[in-house]
Amino acid sequence: MRKASILLALTLCSTAWAATAVTTNPVNLRRAASTSAPILATIPKNTLLTVACQGQWCRTTYRGQGGYVSKSLTQATSRSVPLAAPTAPSRAPSTVYYASCAAARAAGAAPISAGQPGYRARLDRDNDGVACE
């Protein structure tokens, strides 16, 4: 059974895409990709999530609990990238770090979008994928 689960996960990953998205309304985090699946939590509106979407459902994690949300209740904030084709980074990982938004502004880096060097969730007070706005 474990081998079958791993094979299924690899198959799903080969066609899934990962991105960041913001919830457009309160969203039910469900145990499975179905409106009849049990609700695990309710995610508030404007919550930034990392999602792997396939069809009409997105796999995500909220407060340590993994589950599924309806793709129609999210809005992408970053471009999707395929999960199955990881590529080696073309440059060294970013070591940009701003202790505060004041430091980011002083460096001329603000606002900072999710995925850009220096972005951290702690600097994104309204969880919309843009820090120090």
pLDDT digits (tens, 9 = 90+) for 38-51: 999 999 999 999 89
Q: What is the domain extent for residue 61?
A: 2-82
On the question of pLDDT at 123 being above 80, the answer is yes
Do 72 and 92 lie in one domain? The reply is no
The continuous run of DSSP H or E covering 40 comes out as strand 39-43
Interatomic CA distance for residues 5 and 91, integer angstroms:
34
Do 68 and 108 lie in one domain? The reply is no
Quick one: pLDDT at residue 84? 52
| pLDDT per position as a tens digit, 85-111 | 445 555 555 578 888 999 999 989 899
Q: For the chain, what is the mean pLDDT? A: 80
Quick one: pLDDT at residue 33? 93
Q: How confident is the model at residue 9 (pLDDT cuts 50, 70, 90)?
A: very low
66: which residues sit within 8 A by CB, 6+ positions away? 59, 60
Task: Determine what percent of the chain falls in helix, strand and coil, rounding each to the nearest 5.
Answer: 20, 35, 45
Do 7 and 60 lie in one domain? The reply is yes
